[in-house]
Amino acid sequence: MLDKFITPVIKPLLTPIVATLHKLGITADQLTVVGFLIGMLALPLLAFELWYGALAAIILNRVFDGLDGAMARYAQQSSSAGGYLDITLDFLFYAAVPLGFILANPAQNAIAGALLLAAFIGTGSSFLAFAIAAEKFALDKPQFKYKSFYYLNGLTEGTETIVLFIAFCIWPQHFVWLASIFAAACAITIFTRIHGGYHTLKQLETAQR
């Protein structure tokens, strides 16, 4: 929901950093992989209840996630392969954070963490599946022209998810409530994406007949 407002603000701030990294010969894909490895450090840190260390890993991961896209555009390296690598590693990182809290306290966090992981599967699959169909129909990307594929909007997107992860690390004792509330919000996103995506594609298929 907030991505379309936050992204235009952040993009200009990354340009000087990206220009420097480009001069050093660093590629977008390298930034993607390094950012992912840093982000995955959050898993053991959370499991051992090192909340602020995990928070630092999460924030650095998101910084690198912004840098890799900015680098791809700056160096004209944008590609389907890079977009695929980026989104795949992003979803692995997203799954690692709830898993870390489950490992930290299985008795307390397992059910809420499992609900959140299931919700992530729903939000991810509903928007990636639509992206495949959007490519087939060559749909325009009015809000995210710089993305490698079509981004279907929803109530819970990247910005909201990162705010949630930060809240988890600051208030780990409230993980169950925070995860449950966000899972419910994800359920709304899943419903609206499936409903909107299905009817959009039905209209496009009807129009082509």
From the candidates 65, 68, 90, 140, which is the catalytic residue? 90
- 90 in catalytic set: yes
Strand, coil or helix: 2:
coil
Q: Write down how long the chain is.
A: 209
Distance (Å, rounded) from C-alpha 85 to C-alpha 30?
10
Among residues 145, 160, 146, 150, the alpha carbon closest in space to that of 201 is found at: 150
What's the CA gap between 67 and 109, in Å, rounded? 33
- Determine phi and psi for 138, rounding to 5 degrees: 55, 45
No. of helices (H) and no. of strands (E), the chain: 8, 0
Active site residues per annotation? 90
